[in-house]
Amino acid sequence: MAHLGVLRRFLRAPNSEQHVLVGDVGLVAVDPNLQHRGVGIRLLEQTQQLLRQLQLPFGFLTCRPEVVPFYQAGGWHRIEQQVTRMIGNDQAVETYQGGAMIMPVHGTLGAWPTELVDRNGLEV
């Protein structure tokens, strides 16, 4: 009916020499026949509970601009001007400037690095 993956990892913010522990979220999907019925929002609520249980300061994800409102409805915050560097499927370094979202769990919005974050690997 729906699924979502979480990978516990450190993101590196090279401009501030900071390392940020996150629950990196990806592989989010809801069966098309169940969309617009609250299933996705319940999935995001359960994810926030999991991030809390794992004692992570933040949830983090990247997404297409057209799904930003969905994540915002689930309590996620878009970080304007966020650039995310990661390894693409072709194993080359990729720079993504689309939607970057965070969910403050045990951290605060003010503690989030606002420019470049390095995923140190593949997208979830």
Domains in the chain, ordered, with CATH?
Answer: 2-122 (3.40.630.30)
Q: By C-alpha distance, which of 79, 118, 84, 69 is closest to 101?
A: 79
Average pLDDT over residues 18-31: 95
Q: Is residue 56 a contact partner of residue 94, using CB atoms and an 8 Å limit?
A: no
Confidence bin at 123 (pLDDT 50/70/90): confident
**How many Å apart are CA 104 and CA 124, to the nearest integer?**
19
Q: 68-115: per-residue pLDDT in tens?
A: 999 999 999 999 888 999 998 888 999 998 879 999 999 999 999 878
With a cut of 90, say whether residue 28 has pLDDT above it: yes
The fraction of the chain above a pLDDT of 90, given in percent, is 77
DSSP class of residue 32?
Answer: G
